Amino acid sequence: MNARRSLMSAAAVAALSLMSAAAAQAQQVVLKVHHFLPSTSNVQVNLIQPWCDKIAKESGDKLKCQIYPAMTLGGTPPQLFDQARDGVADIVWTIPTYSAGRFTRSEVFELPFFTRSAKGSSQAYWTYVQKNALDEYRGVKPLWLHTNDGSSFHLANPKGVTKLEDLKGLKIRAATRLNSRMLAALGATPVQMPLPAVPESISKGVIDGAMVPWEGVPTVKLHEIAKSHLDVPAGQLKFANSLFAFVMNQGKYNSLSPELKKVIDDNSGLATSAWAGETGFDRVVPGNHKLSGDRGNALLKLDATEYARWVKASENVDDEWVKEVGAKGANGKALLDDARALINQFDK
């Protein structure tokens, strides 16, 4: 009889354990996270995965990410924002301005010679959007918004470029439409394409080089393909920038319990945007410089006189943006001034 009771007790305990495990699994929310870079990219390894690990820990494993890199849920990089809005993915990391003309007010941070660092400009971008452009993100909840460390030129020609005239006629990759406008103003021929398409395009001679942040260089092995690299003088505003957004489907967020919403909220906002900019971009720049230098690539910088010429040549891009925003009913000059004030506050 005692043996039977022991067996029954053990069975009951096992059944309860299975029920508890099933209940815990039922309570777990799996978030589909989609982005366009490889799983080995700096962005997944140092930003997306650590963020996912953090929310899993703080939620007691009630929140779990399933990461889909390299567009494995289908579609193209310009469609990522809509995938989050429409619920194809729960969260995406993307460049919003791949969708040209939809983020006109936000893209002020992509104007030429506007930002210095990813940490500072990411904080400026987050703050600016909350004040001036939140409606451009309708249907999603921005979790963190950031910029890169500033685009540099990476060219197939080992001699590179050292003066404005050297750019004339060169086909240069641009990430977004404002990047394209800047290149055109400088005399180059812009070719807009996502980062993963850059290596093959340079190798086949489709383009002569690319504007890419130093963070993205090892992701596509650009240091093995490009033979020269061009930066601004130390401490100066960078050539250009791109916007990045880590956003969540609004309906998915609304469906979470208050407890899980708090975990998401605690890992969103200004401080998280600063973390994304600094950890994912600013910190990796010196090491990526070294990767290129160790291969014997030319690491060039504009001198102060030439830098001033490039700034002057691209001034009209700001003016065009102000007019375009004004045509859509906003005060472009006021928005530009506000963005610059935020850059001066955060991006020193």
- The pLDDT tens digits for 115-132 are 999 999 999 999 999 999
**The pLDDT of residue 18:** 45
Per-residue model confidence as pLDDT tens digits over 193-246: 999 999 999 999 999 999 999 999 999 999 999 999 999 999 999 999 999 999
Name the residue with tokens 């891009």: 317
**The pLDDT of residue 100:** 86
Helix, strand, coil: what percent of the chain each, to 5? 55, 15, 30
- Residue 154: which of 199, 113, 192, 194 has the closest Cα? 199
Indicate if the pLDDT at residue 159 is higher than 50.
Answer: yes
Count Cβ atoms below 10 Å from residue 118 Cβ, excluding itself: 32
Mean pLDDT of the chain: 93
Per-residue model confidence as pLDDT tens digits over 235-279: 999 999 999 999 999 999 999 999 999 999 999 999 999 999 999
What gap in Å lies between CA 272 and CA 275, rounded to an integer? 5
Count Cβ atoms below 10 Å from residue 137 Cβ, excluding itself: 20
| Strand order, beta sheet including 189-192 | 189-192, 171-174, 209-213, 151-155, 228-231, 298-301
**The pLDDT of residue 123:** 98
**The pLDDT of residue 9:** 56
